[in-house]
Amino acid sequence: MKKRIDYIDNMRGFTILWVVFYHCFIDSFYFLDIDLIKHPIISKFRMPLFFFLSGIFFRRRSFSEFFSKRFKTLIIPFISFYIISVLFTLIKENLKENILNIDMESSNFFKESAFAIIYLFHIHPPVTPTAINLALWFLPVMFTVQMFHYMIDKLTEKRWIMVSIAIIFCIISVILEKNDVSEWCYLNATVKYYIFYLSGSMTGIKMLKFFENKRYAILVLLFSLFAYFLLFRLRIESEIIMYMIDFATVICFIVFIFTFFRFAENFRIFNLLKFWGQHSLEVLVTHMLIIPVVTGVTARCLQSVLLMDLRDHQWLFVFLVFMICVLLEVPVIWFCNRFLQPLLGKKPLMVWGRG
């Protein structure tokens, strides 16, 4: 078994909890007027960090081994939890209408979201293909990014060619966004995030070794923080230059987070994130099923029982929903690892139930 790196698990835990917090914001729009969802601190950095961390552990191997492992750990969970999300949503919406007598137009919502996957190949889909569970988009995109990188790595070992391809992908991403072709086969997300996966693949191992020397790491920590705040405030009219500045800002942030968690490894409080990092897949595929339920129940309790005006306590409401979701994820993670390991790609499907 490969030895896990604690501070990498801590970073993964930090990132997946950041994703949960972000989605708590999104779901709170039904009750609040929060306009912070587009703020770069909340929306811009979480996914590049995920792709960078994944790129660190890219290893050359045979195509069959590489493909089968990625298919098992990414595509099987995607298919499995898409189906689970459909069944869960069907049960949840029926409960709203038949038991709680809440008319939420559940039939229309279910029809639109349950079969939205058919729009994966539409250039201008009326609804996002993973509307039934918004977080699932990450799995096929990560699979495509990794397969792209595997093929590029097979074709050439010259890094300048890899970087050139990544830059071309970035230009394609800008074009796709301008022409509103962002959902087609998740092509935009694939070409947009590939450069961060490549960055992790090219520099990640060197960073791991470099940060073993804490004296150098302190300098990197201070420099990346300074560069981040400097770049973050720059605003230039040229879209291309602004895109490059955004990329540099994200890289500085990633380096800062990487360095920070390397130092924080000795502080036990940060080791609490290790659990979430080791179970980030379970959290990814299930949290968007939990959040809407928790948001709705919490809002009704606060409004009807405590007579609280949620618009006056926006941050409190979002933080409360986030904490409840995080706590509920603990039994969900246990259940997934106890009964659903084949669906998570942790065991072969053919041996499900043999022990």
For residue 43, the tally of other CB atoms under 10 A from its CB is: 14
Query: Does this model's pTM top 0.95?
Result: no
Work out the burial of residue 269: count CB atoms within 10 Å of its CB; fewer than 13 is exposed, 13-18 middle, 19 or more buried: exposed
Cβ neighbours for 323, distance < 8 A, ≥ 6 positions apart: none
How high is the pLDDT of residue 242?
72
| Cα–Cα nearest to 329, from 10, 7, 90, 13 | 13
Q: Please list the alpha-helical segments (H only) found in 271-313.
A: 273-278, 280-304
| Cα–Cα nearest to 58, from 163, 138, 147, 133 | 147
Cβ neighbours for 347, distance < 8 A, ≥ 6 positions apart: 341
DSSP assignments along 108-177, one per residue: HHHHHHHTGGGGGG-SS-SS-TTTTSGGGGHHHHHHHHHHHHHHHHHH---HHHHHHHHHHHHHHHHHHH
| pLDDT by residue, tens only, the chain of 355 residues | 356 788 889 999 999 999 999 888 877 665 555 555 555 555 677 788 889 989 988 988 899 999 999 999 999 999 999 999 988 888 877 776 665 555 555 556 666 677 777 777 777 777 777 888 989 999 999 999 999 999 999 998 898 999 999 989 888 887 877 777 666 668 888 888 999 999 999 987 777 777 766 667 677 777 777 777 776 666 676 667 777 777 888 888 888 888 888 877 777 788 889 999 999 999 999 999 999 889 888 888 877 766 666 666 777 888 899 999 999 999 999 999 999 999 998 877 655 444 4
What single DSSP character describes residue 100?
S
The pair of structure tokens assigned to 337 is 């690892």
